[in-house]
Amino acid sequence: MRPSVRDIYRETCYVYATRAEEIARKEGHKRLARLASNENPFPLSTNARAEAVRALDEVHRYPPEYHTRLTELLVEKFSWNPVVVGNGMDGIIETVIRTLIEPGDKVVISEPTFSFYRVAAAAQGGDVISVRREKDFSVDVPEFIHSCRQAKLAFLCTPNNPTGNLTSREDVKKILDSTDSLLFLDNAYIEFADTDYCDLMKEYDHLVIGRTMSKVYSMAGMRLGYAFVPTWLEPCYHRASTPFAVNRVTAAAAVGALTDLDHVRRIREHAIRWRARFKDEVKFRTFPSQANFILIDTAPHKGNAMMEQLARKGVLVRSCDSFPGLGDHYIRVNIGEDWENELFLQEINAV
Ligand SMILES: *Cc1c(COP(=O)(O)O)cnc(C)c1O
């Protein structure tokens, strides 16, 4: 008899945005507008590429236990020590959960939000407490605080995926002031926003701030995340982490990418310019975004139907159907290259 698989893995978990691509391919489209996964449409900076190629010389050796060149650069850039790095921010989320959560421990999230917190918490046997966001997708702060009081760990995504809105520093401070549970602030899109939370690390020792190289730094395919962690957490984090979680090539590329300020500035300006145009020109209701994507209410059309219809035109967007706590009539569209954005505007307004 086959060994039985854990119940949580009998059903689908993280939902990949692959359906749109299948539809577009079937229609015969060769050139696709890829606006479904919040990636950066622009390639890796030349700096980063050169560093990555150089690192190939040593890939027959295991990477170092600590990527000191990378972590020292991050410490210098953000004035916080310690910093940990992982296999994408997803890898860090998974490791932080593994460091703290035992079966039955509670993990708070504020939905609709990024779906991996739920998946990763469940994998560790954690019980997820879901706090519903308000109608405008702001966090219900009193309810969030109330839930945190029963929990060990809470995740707050700001700017939030898939809604694009920010939680104010004041609200984050209010949460931190009212609870002892560890707050993981997911800042995957912070480079596109006009707020920063870094300095809060100095005030609170139950705060983790997670960041990624996948979005503004054009490194989604290389998998690198980093996080500012409180001093007490660092050694435990390393014990819980997979050995050699970050490879040499990725770590080297990240050093190059982090020092290419011009790349970041250009991408940021491009995203800010286009999200304003999406807001002004899309004929459906849009929500204010501080990220490189925008949430659109496509009612009376269902999100899935809209995703399929656009895919048939060669435009890939994300139906938000799979995000708990959101209705079935939303899509999420990221900023692509000019031609991708133009094509998207043309096709969505033709619906
Ligand atoms: C993209 C994303 C991440 C994951 O980033 P990786 O570093 O690619 O694993 C984490 N959180 C949110 C909200 C994201 O959108």
Quick: pLDDT tens for 40-84. Answer: 999 999 999 999 999 999 999 999 989 999 999 999 999 999 999
**What integer pLDDT is reported at residue 48 of this predicted model?**
97
Are residues 234 and 100 located together in one domain of the fold? yes
* Nearest CA, atom 2, ligand 1: 188
Domain endpoint, select from 258, 285, 308: 258
* In-domain check, residue 222: yes
One domain for residues 33 and 135: no
In a domain, 3, yes or no: no
CB neighbours of 294 closer than 8 A, spacing ≥ 6? 164, 275, 278, 279, 282, 286, 287, 332, 333, 334, 335
197 close to 209: Cβ distance less than 8 angstroms = yes
Q: In terms of Cα–Cα distance, which of 42, 39, 30, 24 is closest to 316?
A: 24
Residue 108 covered by a domain: yes
Cβ 164 vs Cβ 288: under 8 Å:
yes
Using pLDDT thresholds of 50, 70 and 90, give the confidence band for residue 9: confident
Q: Are residues 332 and 244 in the same domain?
A: no
In-domain check, residue 328:
yes
- Do 220 and 120 belong together in one domain? yes
Among 230, 258, 286, the domain boundary falls at: 258
Mean pLDDT of the chain: 96
216 shares a domain with 97: yes
Judged against a pLDDT cut of 90, whether residue 173 lies above it is answered with yes
pLDDT digits (tens, 9 = 90+) for 10-26: 876 667 767 899 999 99
- Which ligand 1 atom sits closest to the C-alpha of 114? 13
pLDDT recorded at residue 265: 96
Q: For position 12, what pLDDT does the model report?
A: 64
The Cα 121–Cα 113 span in angstroms is 14
pLDDT at 18: 79
Q: Are residues 230 and 289 in the same domain?
A: no
Classify residue 2: in a domain, yes or no.
no
Q: Say whether both 25 and 147 belong to one domain.
A: no
- Please report, for the domain that includes residue 239, its CATH number: 3.40.640.10
For ligand 1, atom 12, the nearest C-alpha belongs to: 188
Instruction: Kindly report, residue by residue over 72-126, the tens digit of the pLDDT.
Output: 999 999 999 999 999 999 999 999 999 999 999 999 999 999 999 999 999 999 9
The whole-number average pLDDT for the span 321-331 is 94
Q: What pLDDT sits at residue 220?
A: 97
Mean pLDDT confidence for 275-301: 98
User: Quick count: other Cβ atoms within 10 Å of Cβ 58?
Assistant: 13
Predicted local confidence at residue 323, as pLDDT:
94
Residues with CB under 6 A from ligand 1: 38, 88-90, 114, 157, 161, 186, 188, 212, 214, 220, 225
Nearest CA to ligand 1 atom 5: 89
Domain termination residue (choose one: 229, 258, 287) = 258
23 and 93 part of one domain:
no
The verdict on 320 and 220 lying in the same domain is no
Assess if residue 265 is contained within a domain: yes
Q: Is residue 205 part of a domain?
A: yes
Q: In the chain, what percentage of residues exceed pLDDT 70?
A: 99
Centre of ligand 1 to C-alpha 85, Å, is 13
In what order do the strands lie in the sheet containing 207-212?
A: 83-86, 225-228, 207-212, 182-186, 153-157, 106-111, 127-132
210 Cα–ligand 1 center, Å = 9
Q: CA-based Rg of the chain, rounded to a whole angstrom?
A: 20
**279 and 148 fall within a common domain:** no
- Domain hosting residue 114, numbered range: 46-258
pLDDT number for residue 19: 87
31 compared with 17, residue with greater pLDDT: 31
Does the residue 1 lie in any domain?
no
Ligand 1 centroid vs 350 CA: distance in angstroms?
32
Nearest-CA residue for atom 1 of ligand 1: 188
Question: Which CATH number is 295's domain given?
Answer: 3.90.1150.10
Task: Encode pLDDT of 146-160 as tens digits.
Answer: 999 999 999 999 999
Pair (80, 214) in one structural domain: yes
Residues with Cβ within 8 Å of 90's Cβ and at least 6 positions away in sequence, in order, are 116, 120, 225
Mutate to test the pocket of ligand 1, among 39, 110, 157, 186 (most ligand atoms within 8 A of CB): 186
Q: What total of structural domains would you count in the chain?
A: 2
Best mutation site among 16, 115, 161, 192 for ligand 1, i.e. most ligand atoms within 8 A of its Cβ?
161
Q: Which atom of ligand 1 is nearest to the CA of 220?
A: 8
CA 147 to chain centre: 23
Say if residue 84 is in the same domain as residue 228. Answer: yes
Q: Which atom of ligand 1 is nearest to the CA of 90?
A: 9
Q: Can you tell me which atom of ligand 1 is nearest the CA of 213?
A: 7
Instruction: Give the per-residue pLDDT at 103.
Output: 96
Q: What tokens appear for 157 in the block?
A: 């995504």
Distance 27 CA to ligand 1 centre (A): 30
